[in-house]
Amino acid sequence: MKLLSFALSSLALTSALSVPAKVNYAGFKVYRVTVGNNVAAVKAVLSKLNLATWTGAPKANSVVDVVVPPSQLQSFKADASVLNTEVMHEDLGLSIAEESQYAVYAAGSANATWFNSYHAIADHVQFLKDLQSSYPSNSEILVAGKSNSGRDIIGIHIWGSGGKGSKKAIVWHGTVHAREWITTMVVEYAAYTLLTKYATDTQIKSFVDKYDFYIFPIVNPDGFAYTQTTDRLWRKNRQVNSGNSCVGRDINRNWPYVWSQADGASTDPCAEDYKGPSAGDGTETKVLKALIDGLASGLGVKMYTDFHSYSQLFMYPYGYDCSAVVPNSATYQSLARGTVSAIKAVHGTSFTPGPICSTIYQVSGDSVDYASDVAKAEYSFTVELRDTGRYGFVLPASQIVPSAQEMWAGIKYLLAHM
Question: Reduced to 3 DSSP states, what percent helix, strand and coil does the chain have, rounded to the nearest 5?
Answer: 35, 15, 45
Q: Which of 188, 272, 384, 406 is catalytic?
A: 384
What is the spatial distance between Cα 266 and Cα 276, in angstroms, rounded to a whole number? 9
- The separation between the first and the last C-alpha atoms of the chain, rounded to the nearest angstrom, is 25
Residue 99 falls in the annotated catalytic set: no
Q: What are phi and psi of 377, to 5 degrees?
A: -60, 135
**Burial class for 109, CB neighbours closer than 10 Å (0-12, 13-18, 19+):** exposed
What is the spatial distance between Cα 104 and Cα 90, in angstroms, rounded to a whole number? 28
What is the spatial distance between Cα 243 and Cα 269, in angstroms, rounded to a whole number? 10
**Which contiguous run of DSSP H or E holds residue 88?**
strand 84-89
CB atoms within 10 A of CB 296: 18
**Burial class for 150, CB neighbours closer than 10 Å (0-12, 13-18, 19+):** exposed
What is the spatial distance between Cα 190 and Cα 290, in angstroms, rounded to a whole number? 23
User: DSSP assignment, residue 18?
Assistant: S
Please list the active-site residues: 384
